[in-house]
């Protein structure tokens, strides 16, 4: 019988690396075609394996397998399991999730600043140097190598029940023996040593500085009956320290935070208590349910809230909107500052997360907590706030949309409310630049932009932009 032909090994080509591009890639050219290369640095000469190279494709993709001339910004990778060069040498896949780990931290920030500046220039004709953009800022105290900052982690589970992660754009799984971006609280659980058989996804959350952790187990599609799932979950719980609360999350489709999931407690609690201390010394407590949204970097909640309050400078009696509000991270300090004579309209789409916001704000009657999509609910909420006399104008708007940005309809509604000030928090420079261009067309100018490195050793960056009505 004929054996199927073994797949051709992907070609390896020599490339000279050009500038950084968004998404963790660097731009090179091969035979006139653009190649997006990972694990590289500008100016390097490398050997790279073509991972996507269709003849008809507009561009190709490649991963560096060897460095012929190294950049001075290159360092030993901070996480051996994500080290693409070591992986290529030993013929194993590298885990995704730390695609900038081979770059010195200061250089990562310089590159992220270049990506940010380029997007604003290209999509919104904004020259960030004219705004006094001072480069990407570190958040909070940090490990010199950009490790131990993630208070939220999501893992896959391999066939042996080990925590695992996918390589970039791959369905393969890399079983983990470490994950140095995870916070020290998560490290203390040593989840890499546990057996998660029976589950297909594991989410772990740990508040910065606390000793409680929350482990959510998503049963695999082929899971046994409910009793079998509970037994498997109890077996997981028995392998973890007592400080870990364990719950099973069953999802009837959709993301964890969409409110359609059901949480079933196995041990401990189904929620975490998060504490945020601002630069002013003000201290806030939040309850965040297992499947609810919370910022990932340990210093992000305080860093972002300080930046937002610095822009909005809320005053007693004002009316402010907090859009894409999550569990109320910004809503709570805004509500305290506008006082009982003011109003904060807080809109969050995910029902479970919105429930958290309602609990976190229940003592603040000036906060109106609305659940729904901003683009669908903002107008109706502003009409309600005006008591049926047209649409309530806003003094300021804070928006912190997901990666896709706010989009045309939400920007239109925000501009119609005529806020003097807009604080726009964004985790994606492309959608931020697109929305910034739209805000400009509607009479708002970007006054300042700060970029925070809330995702060290990855290509991601967080922007807080201050827009003012021209
Ligand atoms: C980046 S998070 C910000 C949450 C909050 N500001 C914080 O920092 O904790 C974005 C939030 O927007 C919510 N969301 C996504 N799309 C939405 C939409 N169209 N309308 C309202 N909320 C939405 C998500 O559920 C998520 O909680």
b/e 279-311 (16+ beta carbons within 10 angstroms → b):
eeebebebbbbbbbbbbbbbbbbbbbbbbbbeb
| Mean pLDDT in residue range 376-405 | 94
Domains in the chain and their CATH numbers? 12-74 (2.40.50.140), 152-273 (2.40.50), 298-469 (3.40.50.150)
Active site residue 427: yes
DSSP per-residue letters across 173-238: -EE-S--TTB-HHHHHH-GGGS--TTEEEEEEE--TT-S-EEEEEEE-TT---HHHHHHHHHHHHH
Asked whether the predicted pLDDT for residue 181 surpasses 90, the reply is: yes
Output phi, psi for 62, to 5 deg. -150, 155
pLDDT, one tens digit per residue, over 106-125 is 999 999 999 999 999 999 99
Model pLDDT, residue 126? 97
Distance in angstroms (rounded) separating the CA atoms of residues 60 and 55: 9
Q: Which atom of ligand 1 is nearest to the CA of 401?
A: 10
121 known ligand binder: no
DSSP assignment of 430-452 equals: HHHHHHHHHHHHTTEEEEEEEEE
Q: For residue 7, what is the DSSP state?
A: P
0.90 cut: is pTM over it?
A: yes
Ligand 1 atom nearest to CA at 347:
21
Question: Catalytic one among 288, 300, 427, 433?
Answer: 427
Nearest CA to ligand 1 atom 22: 349
Reduced to 3 DSSP states, what percent helix, strand and coil does the chain have, rounded to the nearest 5? Answer: 25, 30, 45
Q: Is 400 annotated as a binding residue?
A: yes
Determine the average pLDDT of the residues in 2-27.
87
Higher pLDDT, 101 or 391: 101
**Mean pLDDT, rounded, for 314-319:** 98
Per cent of the chain over pLDDT 70 is: 96
Band (pLDDT 50/70/90 cuts) for residue 211 is: confident
By alpha-carbon position, which residue is closest to atom 27 of ligand 1? Answer: 326
Q: Is 75 annotated as a binding residue?
A: no
Is 210 close to ligand 1, i.e. is its CB under 6 Å away? no
Mean pLDDT of the chain, nearest integer: 94
Of 38, 112, 40, nearest in space to 455 by CA: 112
Ligand 1 center–CA 354 separation, angstroms: 9
Q: Is the CB of 256 under 6 A from ligand 1?
A: no
């Amino acid at each position: 019988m004929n054996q199927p032909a073994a797949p051709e090994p992907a070609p390896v080509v020599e490339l000279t690396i050009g500038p950084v591009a968004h998404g963790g890639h660097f731009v090179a050219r091969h035979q006139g075609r653009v190649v997006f290369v990972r694990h590289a640095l500008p100016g390097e000469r490398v050997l790279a394996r073509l991972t996507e190279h269709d003849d008809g494709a507009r561009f190709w993709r490649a991963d560096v397998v060897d460095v012929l001339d190294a950049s001075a910004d290159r360092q030993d990778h901070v996480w051996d399991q994500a080290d693409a060069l070591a992986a290529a040498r030993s013929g194993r896949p590298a885990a995704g999730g730390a695609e900038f780990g081979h770059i010195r931290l200061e250089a990562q920030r310089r590159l992220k600043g270049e990506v940010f500046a380029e997007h604003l220039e290209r999509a919104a004709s904004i020259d960030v140097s004219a705004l006094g953009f001072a480069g990407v800022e570190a958040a909070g105290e940090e490990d010199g190598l950009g490790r131990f900052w993630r208070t939220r982690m999501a893992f896959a589970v391999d066939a042996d029940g080990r925590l695992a992660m996918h390589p970039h754009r791959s369905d393969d799984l890399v079983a983990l023996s470490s994950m140095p971006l995870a916070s020290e609280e998560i490290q203390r659980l040593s989840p890499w040593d546990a057996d998660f058989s029976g589950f297909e996804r594991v989410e772990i959350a740990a508040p910065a500085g606390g000793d409680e952790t929350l482990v959510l187990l998503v049963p695999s599609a082929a899971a046994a009956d409910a009793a079998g799932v509970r037994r498997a979950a109890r077996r997981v719980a028995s392998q973890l320290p007592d400080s870990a609360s364990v719950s099973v999350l069953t999802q009837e489709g959709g993301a964890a935070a969409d409110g359609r999931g059901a949480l079933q407690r196995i041990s401990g609690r189904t929620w975490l208590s998060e504490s945020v201390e601002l630069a002013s010394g003000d201290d806030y407590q939040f309850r965040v349910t297992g499947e609810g949204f919370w910022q990932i970097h340990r210093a992000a909640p305080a860093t972002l809230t300080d930046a937002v309050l610095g822009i909005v400078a809320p005053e007693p009696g004002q009316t402010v909107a907090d859009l894409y509000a999550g569990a109320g991270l910004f809503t709570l300090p805004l509500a305290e500052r506008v006082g009982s004579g003011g109003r904060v309209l807080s809109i969050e789409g995910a029902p479970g997360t919105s429930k958290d916001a309602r609990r976190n704000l229940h003592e603040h009657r000036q906060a109106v907590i609305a659940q729904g999509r901003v683009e669908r609910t903002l107008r109706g909420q502003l009409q309600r706030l005006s008591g049926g006399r047209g649409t309530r104008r806003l003094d300021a708007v804070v928006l912190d949309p997901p990666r896709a940005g706010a989009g045309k309809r939400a920007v239109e509604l925000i501009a119609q409310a005529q806020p003097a000030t807009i604080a726009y928090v964004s985790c994606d420079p492309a959608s931020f630049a697109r929305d910034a261009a739209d805000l400009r067309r509607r009479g708002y100018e970007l006054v300042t932009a700060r970029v925070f490195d809330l995702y060290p050793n990855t290509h991601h960056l967080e922007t807080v932009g201050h827009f003012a009505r021209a």
